[in-house]
Amino acid sequence: MVLETNLEQLQLFAETKRSENLSFQAHLQNLESNQIDNSVMQLNDFITPQIDCTKCGNCCRSLMINVSEQEANRVAEHLNLTRIEFDERYIEKGYGNDMILNTIPCHFLSESSCTIYANRFSGCREFPALHIPGFTKRLFTIFMHYERCPIIYNVVEQLKVLVAFEFEKEN
């Protein structure tokens, strides 16, 4: 199986497969969700080790990152900063004091690698979240990231093959 990792190609495919992907999402809703989860997890286990995230880094270049108090304390300590210094440099606080990193791309991305990898935030650890059950309940976010993340793109395309999905174009 040849995996597609070229981000420009992914954007093109997302455009040309827009109708197909809408049809696939509708198709998935008719299938047994636990079976889809099992298939997605198996595909994820097979595909993820073949894709080098340090050559991609596209999630770190394009996603908003939530930060918890505990994570902010941990990264501030790692960077030898006080919490006040850390917050001033890296954090924007929203309504209810929710915290996000204050830039996209992420401050901590260097070339395509994370400079605080061992201390990265939970959202970074979780993404692209294909190991988490409930795939068919998260189709909006999955397909929002379809052209952003080569892991998601390839898992989705292989899932189409696995469930024998056939797209019939309307003329």
Region of 38-46, 112-120, 129-137, 157-165 interacting with ligand SF4 (CB under 6 A)? 112-120
What gap in Å lies between CA 47 and CA 130, rounded to an integer? 11
Q: Are 127 and 57 in contact (CB under 8 A)?
A: no
Contact status: 65 vs ligand SF4 (CB under 6 A): yes
Q: Which is nearer to ligand SF4, 91 or 109 (CB)?
A: 109
Contact status: 155 vs ligand SF4 (CB under 6 A): no
Kindly state the helix (H) or strand (E) to which residue 95 belongs, with its residue range: none
Query: Least distance (Å) from ligand SF4 to the CB of residue 48?
Result: 8
Query: Least distance (Å) from ligand SF4 to the CB of residue 31?
Result: 25
Contact status: 13 vs ligand SF4 (CB under 6 A): no
Any idea what the Cα angle at residue 118 is, between residues 117 and 119, rounded to 5°? 90
Query: Least distance (Å) from ligand SF4 to the CB of residue 94?
Result: 18
Contact status: 106 vs ligand SF4 (CB under 6 A): yes
Closest to 66 measured CA to CA, from 96, 92, 86: 92
Residue-by-residue DSSP string for 141-162: HHHHSTTT-HHHHHHHHHHHHH
Q: Tokens 């008719």 sit at which residue?
A: 30
- Interface positions with ligand SF4 (CB under 6 A): 51, 53, 56-60, 65, 106, 108-109, 114, 116, 120-121, 124, 127-128, 148-151
